[in-house]
Structure 1
Amino acid sequence: MESKHLDVAETRVVTDYSQSSERGSLSGQSNINHELENEQKKVPLTFGRRLKQIVWDTLDYTPAERRFVSKIDFFILGYVISQIPSQIICTRVRMSIWCPSWELLWVVATFASSSVKTPHQLYVCRFFVGLAEGTFYPAVHTVLGAWYTKREIAKRACIFFGSAFVGSMFSGYLQAALYTGMNGVGGLSGWRWLFIFDGIITFPMAIWGYIALPDLPTNTRVFWLKPHEKEMAQERIKKAGKAVGEPVTWAGIKRVLGKWHFWVYTAYYTFFICSENIGLYMNLWLKSLHRYSVSNINTYPTVTNAITIVTSLAYGWTSDYIKLRSPIVFFSLTVCFFAAVNLAVWDGVPFGLKWASYYLTGFAQGSGPVFLTMVNEVCAGDSLERIIILGSTNSIAYAFNAWIPLLSYNTTYAPRFLVGNSITVALIVCAAITLALAVYLERRDKDGKPEQGMD
């Protein structure tokens, strides 16, 4: 999912802290590295390994930090490569079977993570966790787009998005509680108990998916919908001009790639996702001030998550009420642009404005589901196109987001980040231009045709 996974930018932040004197206050990552380091023999630094460190700009990293970044790299790899194939397979396999089955794999890989003995075993587990997780987010948006009408979908998409942030916040509190309260219980470290509890919590949700996911209106078999309600669902999608159920073919893929939607929407979402990294570094700034406790440094930035949840819900309800999508997205980009410019200028920017700017970055992420709602609506008449683009936007965006922060937000330059913040300003401008192009092309295509979407 968009907000559930840990991206590489966050990796750099957490890693920086794990090497600091306060590392015991964090998630136990340094303890993971230390424990696994004691269980693995040192490997000679061959030419190939040194070349790898040069390519990934990790020559100045400690061995523990390199292992941590590699762990996240494997997660990103699985997360990225699974999305488009999964979306294509969902045209032939019922989602109520496909998605929960991958969630069960997530449970197995998470349980396995609790018993790893070497970093390489952890890499394998993280790869399968990412592989399983990547199938979920675009599939849910596909289901939402198939069942809900224009006046209903945005608020549901934003509730789904916001719930992931609530889950992440709860996971953080659970992580802290387990690390302090369960560390050493049963001879297991606190971080191992975290994986175990994650699996326990997720298992019933995976089973519930077999029951709750309704598939599409054209092939639903859920018992909790009565026959006349299933007929009503099909009538609703016909009235809304939605096409569903087209299986993937080479001709269909060629048709999708021949339209502007795939390229423009994917480009926008890539710019958008890569510009979100700017808000992740508030804790490094607070740390550099030498006036806040470790607890405050870890707590104050979480306000951004709360802002994202609130703004996401506000975007969803407002978007459905005014029956427009692009103005909401433009608004979020404008707020984030203002914040990014302040952080890029840095020198001379008042302390309070810097603080507010970090918090204002939370206004951007919540517009993601509104944009995907726009994709759902504009591509409503071509079910294969809709499914593929919902997968490609997320997959390609996070493929770029896996390496751009490594280059632009090198923690050596914290907390100023002149290059990173300047690149973010440019990315936001590119996103706005691409979105304007999409709106123009949508209106051009709708000229003289029945309405298919809301810009």
Structure 2
Amino acid sequence: MNTSYLVAFSVMQLPLSIIGLKIRPSIWLFSCEIGWTVFTFAQAGARTSTHMYLFRFMVGLFESAFSPVIIFLLGSWYTKPELAKRTSIWLLTGFLGEACSGFMQAAIYDTLDGRNGLAGWRWMYIVCGIMSVPSAFLCLFLLPDYPSNTRAWYLTEEDKRLALQRNANVGRAEISETLDWKTFKPVLCSWRIYTLVVAYIWYGSSCQANNYFAIYLKSEGYSVTMRNILPALANIASAVSSFLYGLASDATRNRFWWILCPLVFVQWPGNAILAIWPSSPAVRMAGFCWCSDAFWYAAAVYWTWANEICAGNAEERALTIAAMNGFFYFFNAGIPNAIFLQTDGPSFRKGFPTTWAFGILAAVFVVLVQGLHNRGGSNVKRGRW
């Protein structure tokens, strides 16, 4: 079921992000969220596994536009001293959402399981669907669209002129009037989309230990409630560290070191503990907390980096962000099925050594991107970076 969701979520990011270049994000994301709300409710009524495979696929399809369009939208408004903070705030809400989800699932299991003849997992989808409806309308009424076409009620004409001038000052290109082969050919012939995507795939794949934290907790005899709460606490810690990363990256106006250092000093040792799988449960617990980004998280800085490296071409910026997210999730839809077999849990003797290797590959490609960027490979045409 998770694979069904991930396949749709990953494959549809590029096409739905391209649509987001031509349709206002407020309208486009409102439409997408209404779509995934409908199929979230549908999951509560699923009667067979086939139904659930289909519904999960459709949720992934409608959800696929959200992250790349929001990240691109942030990169259309904010400049270098501001962007990583804003991206990390947006990412922080995801962490808090996952953390709240863990507590919510625990509460549903304890209080609603069996209520009105419905299992707790069915109530979970009903509650999630109810929460999604107001979120969709918030997209419609609050998202500002792009500086070039915004109609946001809370922005004055002076605000709009200032936003356009800020973009011009940093050499950030606006979206082209037409989208055709001539628009996308330079993108596909550039080193940026390929190296940034591959580096992000390895980086994201090195951060997968947290997905198996609950399995480890179950093997150690933790209750269902604690198996939801402890990973949720790790997500809260990740939210705090992600925000601090954004602050520090903006303050120093540096992205490279704030991506490389977590890989070398957090992901490498954290994954190494799990790859070795020491006999001490306390050490294994520390390994899960450490490498599941409980203390460090650089994704917001990485997305900021991509927004800035590709600033001189709006279409390249949009496609690179969508490809980073999409190909990572596509890769992640298949690889866990090969290296994280449930029969190998909780030590996963193929899985954790592989995520350790992914972290090393990620560092190599991050250094490669920085080297090419320093050689003048950025497509920023003008401005002050």
TM-score higher than 0.5: yes
Aligned to 1:245: 175
Partner of 1:147: 77
What is the identity percentage for the equivalent residue pairs of Structure 1 and Structure 2?
33
The 5 Å alignment of 1:168-187 reads 168-187=98-117
Listed as ranges, the matches of 1:310-349 within 5 Å are 310-334=240-264, 335-347=266-278
1:213 maps to 143
5+ long unaligned stretches in structure 1: 1-70
Query: Following the alignment from structure 1 to structure 2, what is the Cα–Cα distance between the partners of residues 112 and 209?
Result: 22
Residue 388 of structure 1, CA deviation: 0.4
Give 1:126's match in structure 2, choosing from 47, 56, 73. 56
Q: Give the match for residue 385 of structure 1.
A: 316
What is the aligned partner in structure 1 of residue 238 from structure 2?
A: 308
Letter in 2 for 1:428: G
Q: CA deviation at 1:139?
A: 0.4
Post-superposition CA distance 1:339-363 (Å, at most 9, x none): 1112212346x55433222111133
188-197 or 321-330, which moves further after superposition? 188-197
Distance 1:214 1:289, change over 3 A: closer
CA separation in 2, counterparts of 1:176 and 1:449? Answer: 48
Q: What is the rounded CA distance, in whole Å, between the counterparts of 1:353 and 1:190 in structure 2?
A: 34
Is 1:265 paired with 2:265?
A: no
Whichever of the two has the greater Rg, that structure is 1
TM-score normalised by the chain length of structure 2: 0.93
| SS of aligned partner of 1:276 | coil
Q: Is 1:188 equivalent to 2:110 in the alignment?
A: no
Q: Any conservation in 2 of the 1:332–1:367 contact (CA below 8 Å)?
A: yes
Which of 412, 429, 439 in structure 1 is aligned with 2:343?
Answer: 412
Q: Does 1:79 align with 2:9?
A: yes
1:358 is matched by which residue type in structure 2?
A: F
Once the two structures are TM-superposed, the CA of residue 81 in structure 1 deviates from its matched residue by 1.8
Match of 1:116 in 2: 46
C-alpha change, 1:92 and 1:169, in structure 2 (3 Å) is same
Equivalent position SS for 2:34: helix
Please tell me whether the aligned partners of residues 446 and 452 of structure 1 are also in contact (alpha carbons under 8 angstroms). Answer: no
Partner of 1:234: 164
Q: How many residues matched?
A: 382
**Distance in 2 between residues matched to 1:194 and 1:289, nearest whole Å:** 26
Q: CA deviation at 1:174?
A: 1.9
What residue number does 1:97 align with?
Answer: 27
**Is 1:277 aligned to 2:208, yes or no?**
yes
- Which deviates more, 427-436 or 241-250? 241-250
Alignment correspondent of 1:45:
none
Contact 2:339–2:351 (Cα < 8 Å) also in 1: yes
What is the identity, as a one-letter code, of the residue corresponding to 1:109?
Answer: F
With 358-367 and 120-129 compared, the bigger mean Cα shift is at 358-367
Residues 215-246 of structure 1: CA distance to partner in whole angstroms, max 9, x if unpaired? Answer: 11001111111111111111111111111212
**Which residue identity lines up with residue 106 of structure 1 in the other structure?**
W
Deviation at 1:451, TM superposition (A): 7.1
Structure 2: gaps (5+ residues): none
CA contact (8 A) 1:378 1:452 kept: no
- Alignment correspondent of 1:434: 365
Distance in 2 separating the partners of 1:206 and 1:218: 23
1:202 is matched with which residue: 111, 132, 156? 132
Does structure 2 conserve the Cα–Cα contact (< 8 Å) formed by 1:141 and 1:157?
yes
Q: State the shift of 1:309 in Å.
A: 1.1
Structure 2 CA distance for partners of 1:287 and 1:268, relative to 1, 3 Å: same
**Aligned 1:41-60 pairs, distance under 5 A:** none
Secondary structure of the corresponding residue to residue 214 of structure 1: coil
Which residue of the other structure, out of 374, 383, 391, is the alignment partner of 2:305?
Answer: 374
- CA 297–130 in structure 1, closer or farther in 2 if over 3 Å, else same: closer
| One of 79, 87, 91 as aligned partner of 1:157 | 87
Q: Cα–Cα, structure 1 residues 159 and 178, in superposed 2: closer, same or farther, change >3 Å?
A: same
Shift of 1:166: 0.6
Q: Measure how far apart 1:286 and its partner are.
A: 4.1
Check the 8 A contact 1:96/1:213 in 2, yes or no: yes
CA contact (8 A) 1:380 1:452 kept: no
When residues 355 and 141 of structure 1 are mapped into structure 2, their CA distance, relative to the original with a 3 A threshold, is same
Output the CA distance in 1 between the equivalents of 2:135 and 2:210: 31
Q: What displacement does 1:150 show?
A: 0.5
Over residues 431-452 of structure 1, what are the superposed CA-to-partner deviations in whole Å (9 max), with x where a residue is unaligned? 0000000000000016998777
Are the aligned partners of 1:270 and 1:400 in contact in 2 as well (CA < 8 Å)?
yes
C-alpha RMSD over aligned residues: 2.2
